[in-house]
Amino acid sequence: MPELRLNFVTREWVIVTASKRPDDFIGVKKKKKPGFLKTCPFCPGNESKTPDEIYTVRDEKGWRIRVVPNKFAVISEEGERTRTHSGLKKCVSGVGVHEVIIETPIHNLTTATLPVEPLKEVIQTYRYRFLEIYKDPRIEHVIIFKNNGPASGTSIEHSHSQIVGLSIIPLQIRNRFEEYMRFFDDTGDCLMCKTISEELNEGARILFNTDHFVSFVPFAALSPFHIWILPKRHSGSFADITSEEVWDLAKNLKSTMARLYYGLGHPDFNYVIRSGKIGDADSEFIHWYLSIVPRVAMVSGFELGSGVYINPLIPEIGAEFLRRVKIPEYYI
């Protein structure tokens, strides 16, 4: 029988069914990509195809990470933040920051196959740009995310992430923070800290448990193989991550993504770092985390019309499947 589960973070209901098995989501094996592609704007030698770099990590061989303005930015870096309000028409000027983080010079690497040391440098770059963008007085909220594969919304296959600084705080962010606050007011506990405790105690949905982070399929996962990676230390802002935690997150993220990569045939995916502002680090109720959504299922009209998600894979079964995935030792 289907079961309705409540996602406490979003307050959305999820219909969990057993209509599909994990094997149903294994994709067709993708063609092997070359390590260099002449036409790729993110490959070495093609730097002129992107705007001038803002930040770079280099060694004696050349660049390892490049950060550039997004050539097709959704917002403008030029201009002042202004607000207008007339009747039911309310506007804010579309100013802010939109950057691309080119994670590696090697065209065919992805999060699952990138060595831990370079992945650590990617996370360090995330933090550095996160801090820098918040110095802009126009910025109200910064989001770090990665689109990988056509189903995720990107047309460039070379591994890259994006970071956007917005001049407003999106409603989704406000709503989630309000839910965190409501839970704290009702219980005196951080919702995410409580979630970590219960998930570790139960163990059925845990994927990877390291010194500072734990990855798992949430009890009310909105879609198949939806994964959260949570820091065990309570903190409201990604800016607060320590050097030791950066290394640990790199190991956890790589291992988690490798389970998707080898278990499901390298599915398209999105991930996002959900975080409060720099000043939210000491918040008692906000707890930052990383959310991974493999693009293995489509949203239906019922979901769009009702706001109730349908997950055709029981989260506990999905987690068990991923735990059993064989990962080549040289990739970890």
Distances (CA, A) of 45 to 38, 48, 56, 64, 320: 8, 8, 15, 13, 43
Residue 286: the pLDDT is: 97
255-293 pLDDT, tens per residue? 999 999 999 999 999 999 999 999 999 999 999 999 999
138-147 average pLDDT score: 97
- Closest CA relative to residue 105, chosen from 30, 33, 32, 37: 37
Domains of the chain: 53-77+95-331 (3.30.428.10)
Please tell me the distance from the alpha carbon of residue 29 to that of residue 3, in angstroms, as a whole number. 33
Q: Which amino acid is at 186?
A: D
Please tell me the distance from the alpha carbon of residue 26 to that of residue 35, in angstroms, as a whole number. 25
Q: What is the mean pLDDT of the chain?
A: 94
Give residue 327's pLDDT band: very low, low, confident or very high (50, 70, 90).
confident
The full length of the chain comes to: 332
Q: Tokens 């990383």 correspond to what residue?
A: 290
pTM value is 0.95
Per-residue pLDDT for 331 more than 70?
Answer: no
15-69 pLDDT, tens per residue? 999 999 999 999 877 778 899 999 999 999 999 999 999 999 999 999 999 999 9
The SS3 of residue 320 is helix
Residue 287: the pLDDT is: 98
Please tell me the distance from the alpha carbon of residue 251 to that of residue 228, in angstroms, as a whole number. 15
Per-residue pLDDT for 328 more than 70?
Answer: yes
Please tell me the distance from the alpha carbon of residue 300 to that of residue 13, in angstroms, as a whole number. 15
Please tell me the distance from the alpha carbon of residue 165 to that of residue 172, in angstroms, as a whole number. 15
Per-residue pLDDT for 173 more than 80?
Answer: yes
174-187 average pLDDT score: 96
